[in-house]
Chains A and B, each alone.
Chain A
């Protein structure tokens, strides 16, 4: 009984270790700014945090359920995700940053009129759900630390205790926990600034632009590191 409790604790700890290591720092900063930037109140931040956590937990659970029982594919999947997701992530982050910056508008792609308006309003509403998508995308973007702790440390424990679902899910929750806590701190601190200046609209504008800058910066980092391999 004690052993399995320790194993569940270890699964979450491996996730926390992944999150606090330097290698996913750029994506963590982007996630913190996105979740903390949900400035329509603490409930929105809570919802965005929960969706980000759910996105990460779902991704790791699916990978765990698929790979723990058939370990011969672990190496191929791990290497594929580490190579291609990090290459894709840079341009995607920059694209999201440009949308948040209003540099890219849906009218620019010929989606004008009623249809374009519908998409634009949906994008506006997707804000909080975007946190869930972000959780999935960031979970799939493995770096050496997350790959070693997920495919190595967690898999060996989950395999031993026949837990291809619960332990990977706990790992996912662990990876999201530090990000969500930071996002809360930032959200409440900015809420205080917001109230002090009584300038809701102006503050929202700055928060959105700040998140856009962080996304573009993080995207640039991924492009330099994984496409050009300069660092």
Chain B
């Protein structure tokens, strides 16, 4: 066996061992989720906005973030729930407009399972309930709770 071939094999073996952090040797691959670095089944909450922001849009963002942080701090810490505020007017995020058929600034719940989106929902009532903070937060809380139940299955 030539020296270069031996070197290539050694490098490949090193890379594979790095992925498995030692468990590779026992034949069991430890995923990042199992190590607590992330989860395979979680709920992603998005608030999508564009370049032009309005008073009502900022209110929706503020109340959504407040609801998630107030009622779901434990789920956020454990990685069962993730929250992202995304500007869809940038080229790298513009695909979300097509992905979710966005027609305005929106709150979207997305169930992620094994790296793929299993289900999603646009919380369209946030615009109707905008002027009633209590009802708005109850609505978002209820919808997020329903989605989180999916991660228990």
A residues apposed to B, CB below 8 Å: 14, 17, 21-23, 71-72, 74-75, 78-79, 82, 86, 143-145, 147-149, 151-153, 156, 225-226, 229
For the complex, give the distance between the alpha carbons of A156 and B127 in Å.
13
Q: Are A144 and B52 in contact (CB under 8 A)?
A: yes
Q: Are A153 and B52 in contact (CB under 8 A)?
A: no
Q: Of B98, B104, B130, which contacts A147 at CB under 8 A? A: B104
For the complex, give the distance between the alpha carbons of A143 and B127 in Å.
13
Count CB-based A-B contacts (< 8 Å): 67
Interface residues on B, range: 20 to 34
A22-B56 contact given A75-B97, A149-B128, CB 8 Å threshold: yes
Q: Of B54, B97, B102, which contacts A143 at CB under 8 A? A: B54
Q: Are A78 and B124 in contact (CB under 8 A)?
A: no
For the complex, give the distance between the alpha carbons of A83 and B55 in Å.
18
A residues less than 8 Å from B131 (CB atoms): 17
Minimum CB–CB distance for A7 against chain B, Å: 13
Chain B interface mostly:
loop
A226-B101 contact given A144-B57, A152-B122, CB 8 Å threshold: no
Q: Are B55 and A152 in contact (CB under 8 A)?
A: no
Q: Of B51, B54, B98, which contacts A75 at CB under 8 A? A: B98
B residues less than 8 Å from A144 (CB atoms): 50, 52, 54, 56-57, 104-105
| In the A-B complex, the 6 residue pairs with the closest CB atoms | A78-B103, A148-B104, A147-B104, A151-B103, A148-B127, A152-B124
> What would 26 A/B residue contacts be, using CB atoms closer than 8 Å?
A17-B127, A21-B56, A21-B130, A22-B54, A22-B55, A75-B97, A75-B98, A79-B97, A79-B103, A82-B104, A144-B57, A144-B104, A145-B104, A147-B103, A147-B104, A148-B104, A148-B105, A152-B104, A152-B122, A152-B124, A153-B124, A153-B125, A153-B127, A156-B124, A225-B52, A229-B51
